[in-house]
């Protein structure tokens, strides 16, 4: 079988037989002419059901994740919603990793709860607590690793064992790692979800999501069939233009991830030695509690670094004062971004036991020159120094904070 970058460039990307165009055309069409009633010329009928550009992207991503089938959606959340609707029934329970994308928690607790779905949040790093949270009606376990925004590392094989013991499905949100760094299906997961908006698109210019499934029967139906039917009947599909942009980004994923990982490691080490920074969250640091597990389970440690500053004013000033690290939600693009998760992406958790600390900032490290990024971070830290509370600025060595356990 061909290697990652070869598959990324070629899988699903059929050259145009008519013109020889190296890049397959974007099939910007809603419908396909039939040669007779229900006699389909190339298998395509209507673009909600299938479209050649979407098919190409789905095949490309499925090959990279090592799945049986893949389905592209209008956004990451649309992909998550489709998967949940495809496999769950009213009364089902979900074991949900506590540290994860805020929107996943919101989707389940605010929308799916109306249809009788319940969930329990668990510490993703503690398999005993995962096992203890499983109930007789648990149909699904959902985990994100590395997690957002605390970069926790979950033992995928351990989670898969628990799912198998209970006949439940294991779903892994692989958005942060991408298939270049980690293939959850190889560890026994049944489905992978992606926000292709992030590293797969890679250029902050398209929204999208995907579900990739293993060959697996659940409640008597193949997962591929269940999710495929939900995609067609529910209709939250990726359009041809968006599918094209995601496929184009995916071709260079391996190259970009190498650079994201190398730069993030450099920046994490540098930040770890700065007095204004009380804690750095990056699985590539030996001090990270999930470091060894991540080294076994992933090809690299990823491009996201979170950090805590001395206090909330310092964190806010840091986030608002840089030039290359632009203040915005999202991540995974070629440009560096900085985000204040407590209020920007995880605001729905404020007031709950899962709320994000007020001094935490998340960086998505882009592919710019790392020296320029470090100079930018220095600017941010200078602003943080000026903004930090007076009691802290007089204290030359702020105490290191204990590891955050969620």
What residues are annotated to the active site? Answer: 48, 101, 173, 198
Computed on alpha carbons and rounded to an integer, the radius of gyration of the chain in Å comes to: 22
Helix (H), strand (E) at residue 60: helix 52-65
Q: Does 144 bind ligand PLP (CB under 6 A)?
A: yes
Nearest to 258 by CA among 306, 202, 296, 212: 202
If the CB atoms of residues 125 and 148 are measured against ligand PLP, the closer one turns out to be: 148
Strands 191-195 and 337-339: unpaired
| Binders in 150-179 for ligand PLP, by CB under 6 A | 173, 175-176
Q: Is 168 left (phi over 0), alpha (psi -120 to 50) or beta?
A: beta
56, 102, 103, 202: which one contacts ligand PLP (CB under 6 A)?
A: 103
209 with 73: CB under 8 angstroms?
Answer: yes
Q: How far apart are the first and last CA of the chain?
A: 40
Q: Which residues contact 322 (CB under 8 A, 6 or more apart)?
A: 338, 376, 377, 379, 380
If the CB atoms of residues 207 and 384 are measured against ligand PLP, the closer one turns out to be: 207
* Beta carbon of residue 173, minimum distance to ligand PLP (angstroms, whole number): 5
* Beta carbon of residue 187, minimum distance to ligand PLP (angstroms, whole number): 18
Q: Which stretch binds ligand PLP (CB under 6 A): 72-80, 125-133, 159-167, 295-303?
A: 72-80
Residue nearest to ligand PLP (CB): 76
8, 11, 61, 77: which one contacts ligand PLP (CB under 6 A)?
A: 77
Position of tokens 């067609």?
A: 232
Q: Which stretch binds ligand PLP (CB under 6 A): 70-78, 87-95, 122-130, 257-265?
A: 70-78
Q: Does 76 bind ligand PLP (CB under 6 A)?
A: yes
52, 209, 341, 370: which one contacts ligand PLP (CB under 6 A)?
A: 209
Cα torsion 345, 350, 353, 354 to 10°: value is 0
Q: Which stretch binds ligand PLP (CB under 6 A): 15-23, 74-82, 179-187, 219-227?
A: 74-82
* Beta carbon of residue 97, minimum distance to ligand PLP (angstroms, whole number): 11
If the CB atoms of residues 208 and 254 are measured against ligand PLP, the closer one turns out to be: 208
Q: Convert residues 342-361 into a mask of x (bound to ligand PLP by CB under 6 A) and - (unbound).
A: --------------------
If the CB atoms of residues 177 and 381 are measured against ligand PLP, the closer one turns out to be: 177
204 with 72: CB under 8 angstroms?
Answer: no
* Beta carbon of residue 212, minimum distance to ligand PLP (angstroms, whole number): 14
If the CB atoms of residues 173 and 276 are measured against ligand PLP, the closer one turns out to be: 173
- Residue 60's CB is within 10 A of a number of other CB atoms, namely 24
Q: Does 101 bind ligand PLP (CB under 6 A)?
A: yes
| Binders in 175-204 for ligand PLP, by CB under 6 A | 175-176, 195, 197-198
Q: Does 247 bind ligand PLP (CB under 6 A)?
A: no
Query: What phi and psi values does residue 251 have, to the nearest 5 degrees?
Result: -60, -30
* Beta carbon of residue 144, minimum distance to ligand PLP (angstroms, whole number): 5
Query: What phi and psi values does residue 341 have, to the nearest 5 degrees?
Result: -60, -35
Query: Which tokens is 202 given?
Result: 């890679």
Sign of CA dihedral 176, 177, 180, 183: negative
- What whole-number distance in Å separates Cα of residue 50 and Cα of residue 43? 9
Q: Convert residues 308-347 into a mask of x (bound to ligand PLP by CB under 6 A) and - (unbound).
A: ----------------------------------------
169 with 87: CB under 8 angstroms?
Answer: yes
Q: Which stretch binds ligand PLP (CB under 6 A): 9-17, 36-44, 75-83, 256-264?
A: 75-83
∠110-207-304 over CA atoms, to 5°?
85
Q: How many residues sit close enough to ligand PLP to count as binding (CB under 6 A)?
A: 15
* Beta carbon of residue 403, minimum distance to ligand PLP (angstroms, whole number): 21
Read off the DSSP letter of residue 348: G
CA–CA distances in Å: residue 10 to residues 25, 70, 88, 195: 15, 16, 35, 22
* Beta carbon of residue 80, minimum distance to ligand PLP (angstroms, whole number): 7
Give the residues across from 218 on adjacent strands: 221
* Binding residues vs ligand PLP (CB under 6 A): 75-77, 101, 103, 144, 148, 173, 175-176, 195, 197-198, 207, 209
């Amino acid at each position: 079988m061909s290697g990652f970058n070869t598959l990324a460039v070629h899988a699903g990307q059929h050259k145009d037989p008519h013109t020889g165009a190296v890049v397959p055309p974007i099939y910007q069409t809603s419908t396909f002419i039939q040669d007779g009633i229900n006699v389909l010329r190339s298998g395509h009928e209507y673009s909600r059901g299938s479209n050649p550009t979407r098919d190409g992207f789905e095949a490309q991503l499925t090959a990279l994740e090592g799945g049986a089938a893949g389905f592209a959606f209008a956004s990451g959340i649309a992909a998550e919603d489709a998967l949940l609707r495809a496999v769950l029934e009213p009364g089902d329970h979900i074991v949900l990793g506590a540290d994860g994308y805020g929107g996943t928690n919101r989707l389940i607790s605010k929308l799916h709860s109306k249809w009788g779905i319940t969930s329990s949040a668990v510490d993703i790093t503690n398999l005993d607590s995962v096992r203890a949270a499983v109930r007789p009606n648990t149909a699904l376990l959902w985990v994100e690793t590395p997690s957002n925004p605390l970069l926790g590392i979950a033992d995928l094989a351990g989670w898969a064992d628990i799912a198998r013991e209970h006949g439940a499905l294991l779903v892994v949100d692989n958005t942060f790692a991408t298939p270049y760094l980690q293939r959850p299906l190889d560890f026994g997961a049944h489905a992978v979800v992606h926000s292709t908006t992030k590293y797969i698109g890679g250029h902050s210019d398209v929204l999208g999501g995907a579900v990739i499934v293993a060959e697996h029967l659940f409640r008597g139906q193949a997962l591929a069939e269940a999710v495929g039917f939900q995609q067609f009947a529910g209709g939250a599909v990726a359009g041809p233009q968006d599918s094209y942009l995601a496929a184009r980004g995916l071709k260079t994923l391996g190259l970009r991830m190498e650079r994201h990982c190398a730069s993030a490691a450099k920046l994490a080490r540098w930040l770890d030695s700065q007095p204004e920074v009380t804690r750095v969250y990056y699985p590539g640091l030996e001090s990270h509690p999930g470091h060894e597990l991540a080294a076994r389970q992933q090809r690299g440690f990823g491009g996201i670094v979170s950090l805590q500053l001395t206090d909330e004013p310092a964190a806010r000033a840091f986030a608002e004062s840089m030039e290359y690290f632009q203040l915005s939600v999202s991540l995974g693009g070629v440009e560096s971004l900085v985000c204040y998760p407590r209020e920007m992406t995880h605001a729905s958790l404020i007031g709950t036991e899962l709320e994000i600390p007020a001094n935490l900032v998340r960086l998505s490290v882009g592919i710019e020159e790392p020296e320029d990024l470090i100079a930018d971070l220095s600017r941010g830290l200078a602003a943080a120094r000026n903004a930090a509370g007076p009691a802290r600025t007089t204290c030359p060595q702020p105490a290191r904070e204990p590891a955050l356990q969620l």
